[in-house]
Homo-oligomer: A and B are copies of this chain.
Amino acid sequence: MKKIGVVLSGCGVYDGSEIHEAVFTLLAIDRAGCEAVCMAPDIELNVVNHLTTEASGEKRNVLHESARIARGNIADIKTVKATELDAVILPGGFGAAKNLSDFAVKGSAATVNGEVARLLRDMYEAKKPIGAVCIAPALLAALFGKELSPTVTIGNDAGTAAEIDKTGAKHQECPVTGFVVDRENRIVTSPAYMLANRISEVCDGVDNCVKELIKLI
C-alpha cells in the first residue's frame, strides 16, 4: 500500500491546518487505497480565536493540535524520513504560512521550518511527488522557487501570486476544483479555500489534487 505523508500545521484555518482541507486529504488518500501518514512539527503556535478571528495571546503546540485532525495517529515530522513515503502533501490554512513557514509575514522572503524543508528536499531528491493546496503552495515557492522555478497555483489572488513569482516560482491561475501539475518537478497544487465558496468544491478540488499526486508516484 502506497504511503502518502500529510504535513499538518495545527487545527483550524486561522492558526493551523484548514480542517476541511485536511480531512478531505485524508479521505481522498483512503478512497484511493493508499495510507495517510500524518505528521507535524513539535513547535508552538499563536492561537487565534476562530469566533472573533482575533489573536487570543495563548500558545498551543502544533503537533498536539494537529493530533486532533489525525485522531492521535500522528508523528513528529523530525522522525519521518522520505524513504518511508511514496508522496507527500500539505493541506492549507494559515498554519502553512505562519507555523510551517513565515510566508504570512515575509512573503517572497519567507523561510520554511527546518524539518519541513528537510523532508520536502529529500522527497524532491528522491523524485517523489509533492502536493500542496490553498496557501501551502506558497511554502513550496519559498523553498524551491530560486533553484527549481516550479509552477504552482493558489487560485487567482493577485497579491499572493505576485509574492510567489518574486521567489522565482511561476504562478498559474486555476479554477477551484482544478489543479496545476509541474511534471518536471513532480509538484501538484490546487486552490481549495483560496477560491472555494462551498465545502463541496473543496472536497472535489482536494480529491482531484490527491488523485493526480498519486498518479505521479
Contact = CB atoms under 8 A, between A and B. Distances in A.
Contacts of A198: 30
The size bracket of the interface on A is: 20 to 34
Interface of A: 11-14, 18-20, 23-24, 26-27, 30-31, 49-51, 53, 63-65, 67-72, 74, 198-200, 203
Contacts of A14: 72
Contacts of A13: 68, 71
B11 A200 contact: no
Nearest to A33: B200
Contacts of A70: 50
A68 B27 CA distance: 19
A7 to B, nearest CB: 16
Contact of A51 (B49, B51, B63): B63
- Chain copies in complex: 2
A146 to B, nearest CB: 34
Contact of A68 (B11, B24, B64): B11
A27 B203 contact: yes
Nearest to A51: B67
A35 B72 CA distance: 31
Contacts of A63: 51
B72 A50 contact: yes
A20 B26 contact: yes
A83 B12 CA distance: 31
A134 B92 CA distance: 28
